Structure 1
Amino acid sequence: MPKTTDTTTTPPPAAVARDPHWAAKLERLRARKPATQTLTICDDATVRQNLAQAKTEHDTAVAYGNEDSQKTTAQALEAAQAAFDEAAIVLTFQALPSPAFQALKEAHPPTEKQAEDDQAINLDTIGPELVSQSSLDGLTPEDAAHFLESWGTGEATQLFMTAWNVQNHVRSDLGKG
């Protein structure tokens, strides 16, 4: 049985003395959800181009401060965005708990050749499992393997990298000392 951490402990008195809001902060920390990232795919080049053009026209209207033009271009942008949203496929990925991600990496050790090239994992085998395990859309390892093998290199790389990058996503700032 894996070791778990008790999350119902009382904050140390020294922490509460330094920050009377510590208990509320601690509760917020405990309630955090894992990071997510999306990959948006739109196969319709015309829809993508129309959205890009509408964004450019609206940005130009805003830059010049023309209120009538801003209103017109905002409506066109809204319509282009709606068409894009209708045509697009959005895949969402979520960070795995650290122990699960570590176990996944350990389950896919590098080949001898990959190790000689200083690779820590086998990128050829981890992809389908990583994409599947981090997918919030229910992608199976078989689906992921099919996409990674049949899509063009750029799109397959984006699929893998979205699943990989969410594992390393940072939502914090070190701030000023």
Structure 2
Amino acid sequence: MTRPAPAKRPSPPRAEAPAEGAWAAKMNRLRQRPRPQNKLRICDDTQLRQRVEETEQAAQRARIFAEASPDDEAAAQRAVEAEAAAEQARAELDDASDVLTFLALPRPVFEELIAEHPPTEKQAEEGAVFNPDTFPAALVSAASFDGMSREEAEELLNTWSVPDANDLWEAAWQVQQESRVELGKG
């Protein structure tokens, strides 16, 4: 008994290649993309941070109420005033804060930095990819847009409270993990 030959599937339509000039322009835009960045705000004024949170919540409630009552001019005015108060509180917070900025490193630089801080044998057995005693300060320094030295990063990581030191590390680490592309979209 002979089996029929399998049906040939049609070839998918061939996409038109972009014109060379269009590709060159696209490649130029890809080369010019800014690296992702992450900011860490440091403000020791807990009352001011609390006031910002409260004014932002009040502005959100006023905005929701105004949207639910579109004919209520007084509600609309309260929403405008609440947003202005929140904006003022945010400006005061900005003035009272120090902001550290961290940039994503180019992939080869990041990989080289990891290679420069290999885990100890025990750390590797526990699944570490880098030495958690030396790599954090090196990454914080390397990713610092502000010019923080490795010694300064190490000092802050060692002298700040655990949550603050963790936030410093996370600000530098998270920006290295940020993706701004989408697979299969378009």
CA distances 1:68-94 after superposition (whole Å, capped 9, x unpaired) = 101210221111011110111110001
Partner residue in 1 for 2:51: 50
Q: Please, what is the CA RMSD of the aligned residues?
A: 1.7
Whether 1:87 aligns to 2:87 is: no
> 1:175 Cα deviation (Å)?
4.2
2:177 partner amino acid: N
For 2:142 and 2:21, how far apart are their aligned partners in 1?
Answer: 39
For 1:165 and 1:84, how far apart are their aligned partners in 2?
Answer: 24
May I ask how many residue pairs the two structures share in their alignment?
163
Partner residue in 2 for 1:3: none
Query: Which protein has the larger Cα radius of gyration, Structure 1 or Structure 2?
Result: 2
Shift in alpha-carbon separation, 1:63–1:175, aligned structure 2, 3 A: farther
1:133 partner amino acid: A
Partner residue in 2 for 1:15: 17
Whether 1:96 aligns to 2:105 is: yes
Partner residue in 1 for 2:25: 24
Give the alignment partner of residue 148 of structure 1, picking from 153, 157, 179.
157
8 Å CA contact 1:39–1:162 kept in 2: the answer is yes
Equivalent positions of 1:43-82 (< 5 A) are: 43-65=44-66, 66-82=75-91
Whether 1:119 aligns to 2:128 is: yes
For 1:175 and 1:73, how far apart are their aligned partners in 2?
Answer: 42
Partner residue in 2 for 1:4: none
Q: Percent of counterpart pairs with the same letter?
A: 41
Partner residue in 1 for 2:40: 39
For 1:46 and 1:75, how far apart are their aligned partners in 2?
Answer: 19
For 1:117 and 1:72, how far apart are their aligned partners in 2?
Answer: 55
For 1:15 and 1:100, how far apart are their aligned partners in 2?
Answer: 33
Unaligned runs of 5+ in 2: 1-15, 67-74
Equivalent positions of 1:131-142 (< 5 A) are: 131-142=140-151
Per the normalisation by structure 2, the TM-score is 0.82
> 1:51 Cα deviation (Å)?
0.3
Whether 1:163 aligns to 2:172 is: yes
1:96 partner amino acid: L
For 1:116 and 1:27, how far apart are their aligned partners in 2?
Answer: 44
For 1:30 and 1:175, how far apart are their aligned partners in 2?
Answer: 21
